[in-house]
Amino acid sequence: MEIKRTIIQAIAVCCASTLFAFTYNAFSDNGINPFRQADAEKIAKDLDKSAGNITVIDLKKFREMNKEGIILIDARTESDYINGHIPGALLFDYYKFGSFADKVLPLIDPWSSLVIYCSSPTCDASDLLAGDLYELGYKNIFVFEGGFSKWKEEGLPVKKGLE
Amino acid sequence: MKNKRILKTDGSALKELLLEPPLETDFRREKSCRQYLVILARIILAAVFIYAAFGKINKPMLFSQQIRMYKILDGSFLLYTVAIVLPWIELLCGISLITGIFIRGTSLVLSAINITFLVFIIYRVLNVMGSGETAFFEVFFDCGCGFKPTYAWKKILENTALLGFSLVLLFSREYRFVSLRSRGRRQG
């Protein structure tokens, strides 16, 4: 009986927490949508493509484009950026969207090509940032899939500190 | 008053009284010692978990990013659900420990999540050691627990202590916050 009661109480505590958590999340300004998609290809599928697109690119394509004059955006955190980033990248920490949007977006022409990267092939900051910037009107968006880890693996130049 | 009543009865009750006391006081002392341990465990666990919960309850996005660094939950729905719900489980457990409501169930939940945290942290430490050739005592990270970044070995010690306290609560039979009050009825 004791064991049964303990388990029932434990389930009750978990259910109550879940209920409070999702209710709070729904009304909080900082709430997140648990169904948000973190895959740029999936995000791109749902877009209205008449105006532009989000394209996932690999390292080879990225290096070609990098020569042509694109705007490169680093979607990682500030400490990651200071520890090393791809030369010429602008810092735009996706997880502090509000504060960086005010600083960085006025610098970017809506018709320019943007390449976004984050830390690794599995990170999702770049995919999510791509989706949000597309909504804001930037139409030529590319996501560098390999991220900073791929860039570093290839032994390509890395710049430290803030630019 | 009590003594007077006993004196009035026959010798057997008196004999009983003389034989009983040492046994009973020993039992009581042991009992109160355990009760203090339980109270200590409740206060420490409640303080730690409520503090940890408030650190991340309003930052689910940042917290999900921190969980992602463990490289265990990569799928989005499960990850975001954990980031939303976990701080609330911690908060409710803390409140339960203070108020004494559902405290047995709470101690089961706390034991379970402390074991999970411990496994996750050790897994991550092994990961860091494997990838960067870092020595065990030099692994330094932000565990995403709601506290400042620290050395992993300290975090493992802390978590083991928290797990110990949760297990003390889970297997203890003394849940009363004030130990001298309302003898006989057991809460929980």
Residues 6+ apart with CB under 8 A from B59: A30
Q: What angle do CA A64, A86, B139 make, to 5 degrees?
A: 140
pLDDT of residue B180: 35
Identity of the residue in B57, B84, B106 whose CB atom sits nearest the CB atom of A22: B84
**Between chains, do B108 and A10 touch, taking CB under 8 Å as contact?**
yes
d(Cα B68, Cα B77) in Å, to the nearest integer?
A: 12
Identity of the residue in A9, A31, A37 whose CB atom sits nearest the CB atom of B60: A31
pLDDT band of residue A105 (cuts 50, 70, 90) is confident
**Average pLDDT score over residue span A63-87:** 88
The rounded mean pLDDT for chain A is 85
Q: Is B116 on the interface with A (CB under 8 A)?
A: no
Q: How many residues does chain A have?
A: 163
3 state SS of B151: strand
Q: Is B167 on the interface with A (CB under 8 A)?
A: no
Q: What angle do CA A65, A70, A76 make, to 5 degrees?
A: 100
pLDDT of residue B9: 56
- Radius of gyration for chain B, computed over Cα atoms and rounded to the nearest angstrom: 23
DSSP structure string for A41-101: HHHHHTS-TTS-EEEEE-HHHHHHHHHT--EEEE-S-HHHHHH-B-TTPEE--GGGHHHHH
**Between chains, do B106 and A7 touch, taking CB under 8 Å as contact?**
no
Kindly report the nearest CA distance between residue B81 and chain A, in angstroms: 6
One CATH from 3.40.50.970, 3.90.650.10, 1.25.40.10, 3.40.250.10 for A36-153? 3.40.250.10
Query: For residues B95 and B104, is the Cβ–Cβ distance under 8 A?
Result: no
3 state SS of A143: strand
Distance between the two ends of chain B, CA-based, in angstroms?
Answer: 35
Inform me whether the pLDDT recorded for A140 exceeds 80. yes
**Between chains, do A10 and B105 touch, taking CB under 8 Å as contact?**
yes
Task: Identify which has the larger pLDDT, A157 or A96.
Answer: A157
pLDDT of residue B26: 60
**Between chains, do B88 and A18 touch, taking CB under 8 Å as contact?**
yes
> Domain locations in chain A?
1-32, 36-153
Specify which residues A115 forms β-bridges with.
A72, A142
Residues 6+ apart with CB under 8 A from B147: B51, B52, B55
The answer, yes or no, to whether ipTM is higher than 0.90 is no
Q: Which residues, given as ranges, of chain B have pLDDT below 70? A: 1-30, 74-75, 132, 174-188
**Between chains, do A13 and B80 touch, taking CB under 8 Å as contact?**
no
Q: Is B89 on the interface with A (CB under 8 A)?
A: yes
Strand arrangement, sheet containing A90-91: A53-57, A140-144, A114-117, A71-74, A90-91
Identity of the residue in B65, B74, B170 whose CB atom sits nearest the CB atom of A95: B65
Q: Mind listing the pLDDT tens digit for each residue in A21-69?
A: 999 999 988 788 888 766 777 777 766 656 677 888 888 888 888 888 8
**Between chains, do A32 and B59 touch, taking CB under 8 Å as contact?**
no
Identity of the residue in B74, B85, B104 whose CB atom sits nearest the CB atom of A18: B85
Q: Is B35 on the interface with A (CB under 8 A)?
A: no
Q: For an interface test with B, give the residue of A11, A22, A25 to mutate (most B CBs within 10 A).
A: A25
Exposure letters B75-109 (e unless 16+ CB within 10 A, then b): ebeebbbbbbbbbbbbbbbbbbbeeeebbbbbbbb
